[in-house]
Structure 1
Amino acid sequence: MSDDHDESTLGRIETEVALLMRFGEATRRATGTAEHRVLDRAAYVILRHLADAGPQNVSALAARLNLDGSTVTRQVSALQRDGLITRTPDPSDGRGTVISPTPAGLQRMAAVQAARTRLYGDMLADWSAEDRDTLAALLGRLNQALVNRNRR
């Protein structure tokens, strides 16, 4: 592959990722269903991670989500105020706390996840199962590359 072709391909990738983020945000804002609005994006991401990974302390959450600790602390405080997470003493560090989702938090997260899954099902209805699998795999690889890049 020539350098010019590679640069052209990388330019297309950059443009498509920028558009993906722009259209994704516009779609999230414009979606009229209440399920999409019961959690803001940050709360959804935190609850999804807690549901998958189990109880976490703020620093582990911040590291995994590539966010500043004070940002996560603010978001966790808002989630706690809304009854969506609980804090309990950290068994490995008695001075710290771990955050866990409450049943209400898991229920809201699941409602948003289901609504988003339906939305993508509608948008990708005319894609073959193979194309959807390929998209999922490539997006997973892109996200992992972004995680690896942000750890440097």
Structure 2
Amino acid sequence: MEAFEERFFHQLAFACSEAKQTFTQQLGMSQARWQLLILLDSHGEMSHAALQQQLSLDGATITRLVKQFEAEGSVSRRLDPQNNRYTLISLTPSGHEITADIRASHRTFAAQLLGGIPREEQEAVLRVLEQLRSNMRLHKPEGDEQPSVLP
């Protein structure tokens, strides 16, 4: 029989994975696409390099996504006036509308996932997850932080 700890982490990993996959399918947009838009919406104008670092994606993927979004009118690019070797990317008004829709979809999705779970149980799980993350930070090498990009 599987040890409790193994079951716990197995369920946690699959719940996270399934939630991301289901939300991405409902949105009809890849995770990399919606995360890039949400990151720009949250942080404002960012360099190509900062997007690459924050999203843990290679430069070619960031370039491809930014070009697609620019062609769709969701983002704009400009040279960094302080260093023209860098490109700065920001959302257009259309991009802000898309991120508002993503955030609204995420709120609806979260409410559906939490349906039928009493508030006190939700709060207990949240406390456990916060403690897990705190414990992980204690054992993580310095500078190895992974940002969360959620709507």
Distance 1:48 1:133, change over 3 A: farther
State the alpha-carbon separation in 1 of the partners of residues 113 and 36 from structure 2.
Answer: 25
Aligned mates of 2:103, 2:52 — CA distance in 1: 22
Q: Provide TM-score, normalisation by structure 2.
A: 0.73
Of 131-140 and 69-78, the range deviating more from structure 2:
131-140
Which residue number corresponds to residue 40 of structure 1? 30
TM-score (structure 1 length as normaliser): 0.73
Deviations 1:83-125 (A, max 9, x none): 1100012133123210001111111121122112112112213
2: CA distance, partners of 1:21 / 1:123:
11
Q: Write the mapping of 1:32-71 to structure 2, written as runs, cut at 5 A.
A: 36-37=27-28, 39-71=29-61
Partner Cα separation in structure 2 for residue 92 and residue 111 of structure 1? 33
Q: Which has the higher helix share?
A: 1
What are the Cα deviations for residues 33-87 of structure 1, in whole angstroms up to 9, with x where unaligned? xxx22x4321110011111111111111111111111111111111111111000
In structure 1, the residue matched to 2:133 is 141
Q: Which runs of 5+ in 1 are unaligned?
A: 1-6
Q: 1:16 aligns with which of 6, 11, 16?
A: 11
Question: What residue identity is the alignment partner of 2:18?
Answer: F
CA RMSD of aligned residues (A): 3.2
Name which of 68, 74, 86 aligns with 1:78.
68
* Identity in percent: 25
Cα deviation for residue 23 of structure 1 reads 2.1
> 5+ residue gaps in structure 2?
none
Equivalent residue of 1:67, what SS?
A: coil
Question: 2:115 — aligned with what?
Answer: 125
